[in-house]
Structure 1
């Protein structure tokens, strides 16, 4: 596992004093836990368009024609919408190498969802906006894993995000080395069990898409479409039910090698995971033990068993 995975991040989340009040919103998970495994590339869109710190707070405002404007919350004259849009449109193409992005929640420039959008007069607002920079980021790069600091406090969301950035990193490296049909099919094969844990219907749909690879004249075009479909599939959080199905499927590979007692022990452990009394790590660890004892080439290559560094401890409580 590489520690060189490029991940974009709102600069304030790394502890940089770039916020409107001159402070920061240091995200401990990013700085203390994820940083050893990735290479953060910080951006503060508000500083990038020339605003100082400290500065008056900004807000999104719904203007008369229904468009969203970026203005100062203290009613200071000036509309920053065009400047922010132009900066975003210019800066984001240079971020195509990224494998993920962590944005600052509630920010009118960086917020991912539920950003307050105010009426032109007064303080009436609805939490239904997206920061201007992040909206453009998601528009230009719909395959990119994007999460915000608040949501990353939730363990399943945190695991899902890290899993996606590692998946995209491997896929991007495959592209850099030179696309081949065999390489793409091999990549998809390595991720089959992981995809199955996220969505069985979309897993089957994506499998049919990959099976049709020979009918694509351009591998670059196939890659672009496959990347989008793959990453949209992985946005669906893996469920306990789907994980249980995967575990039972893997259990079948050892039907002949295990004794009756071992089969019963494994079945009971999987069932305890299904009932929520054991973390996912417990049956996965036992299966990895049997994989070492009774090697199987297909299982050995499956990313399901180690989609990211074990040291991140993301499966301990799931």
Structure 2
């Protein structure tokens, strides 16, 4: 499998490219995630030819339109930022996710200050120009902001989606019904943990597919990414863990069943992290192999050394 590539705002890897000549280095990205992905660094503002340091850009509401304006000069760089995303397509087509710099008028994913140019008042309702174009070009791609990655649930959720999307990219160029069914089968317990309604809907969608067109493939992966975009709740994880336990009902002793049940309940009540029952399940899976469970991405969705399930 080729290296997983992830786009990232260059300042988050320590590059001195911000408007003030500084950076916003993300320790998680630079020191941990970098062990498992190849980052592709981009800075849209530098990419359109702005200097370092540079006058600030702000988002302004002009009627129904949102523009990126440099207040000091009055220059409108909206189209330049959108065009930069178009020019970066050779890179963007390779990536399996994107980490963005929060609050940036080019890269901010949400709650960017949006100004009224007449009053100067701002409300936190904007979205960066570059990221808006990124979503238009690649609506299924997982994206996240650096600040939100400090939340353990959002961090785990983003990395999970990146690894699922990377697996999808590896098969989508040679997609047929059998390949789609196999891919979907691997995701079943993961989807069940995140969105039960979409889990059922996607099962029907795959079953009804006959010829896999590009439009069908895009509709499928967008639904998968939608289902996975919300972190799974303790209740849903508990449901999946109990479902998995059922696969061992013929192999485990009464004492072993009780031990696993108690551990799952302790997780449900917040007394144990998700890793605790999963570690015991992995132990039983090695002792009593099960082909269906062994292929489930829910069991091992990403490298264990990222320790993302320690705090869930």
- Give CA deviations for 1:157-199 in whole Å, capped at 9, x if unaligned: 00000000000111111124x2221111011101111111001
Q: What is the 5 A alignment of 1:248-287?
A: 248-287=242-281
- Superposition TM-score, scaled by structure 2 size: 0.97
Q: Equivalents in 2 of 1:82, 1:273: separation in Å? A: 50
Partner of 1:50: 49
Q: Equivalents in 1 of 2:25, 2:60: separation in Å? A: 27
Q: Equivalents in 1 of 2:281, 2:79: separation in Å? A: 55
Partner of 2:103: 106
Q: Equivalents in 1 of 2:65, 2:220: separation in Å? A: 33
Secondary structure of the residue aligned to 1:191 is helix
Partner of 1:70: 68
Secondary structure of the residue aligned to 1:304 is coil
Structure 1 residue runs of 5 or longer lacking an equivalent are none
Secondary structure of the residue aligned to 2:76 is coil
Q: Equivalents in 2 of 1:126, 1:299: separation in Å? A: 48
Partner of 2:77: 80
- Give CA deviations for 1:110-130 in whole Å, capped at 9, x if unaligned: 000000011113431000000
- Give CA deviations for 1:181-224 in whole Å, capped at 9, x if unaligned: 1111011101111111001111001110011122x3x4433222
Partner of 1:243: 237
CA contact under 8 A between 1:181 and 1:219: conserved in structure 2?
no
Q: Equivalents in 2 of 1:131, 1:221: separation in Å? A: 28
Q: Equivalents in 2 of 1:141, 1:93: separation in Å? A: 13
Q: CA RMSD in A?
A: 1.4
Partner of 2:200: 204
Q: Equivalents in 2 of 1:167, 1:66: separation in Å? A: 36
CA contact under 8 A between 1:3 and 1:39: conserved in structure 2?
no
Structure 2 residue runs of 5 or longer lacking an equivalent are none
Q: What is the 5 A alignment of 1:42-191?
A: 42-63=41-62, 65-73=63-71, 75-92=72-89, 94-176=91-173, 178-191=174-187
Change (3 A) 1:80 1:61: same
Partner of 1:35: 34
Equivalences, count: 312
Change (3 A) 1:12 1:302: same
Equivalent residue in structure 2 for 1:234, among 208, 222, 228: 228
Q: Equivalents in 2 of 1:52, 1:272: separation in Å? A: 55
Residue 259 (structure 1) shift: 1.2
Residue 94 (structure 1) shift: 4.5
- Superposition TM-score, scaled by structure 1 size: 0.95
Secondary structure of the residue aligned to 1:223 is helix
Q: Equivalents in 2 of 1:114, 1:71: separation in Å? A: 17
Q: Which runs of 4+ in 1 moved over 4 A?
A: none
Q: What is the 5 A alignment of 1:290-301?
A: 290-301=284-295
- Give CA deviations for 1:74-117 in whole Å, capped at 9, x if unaligned: x3232212222222233346512210000000000000000001
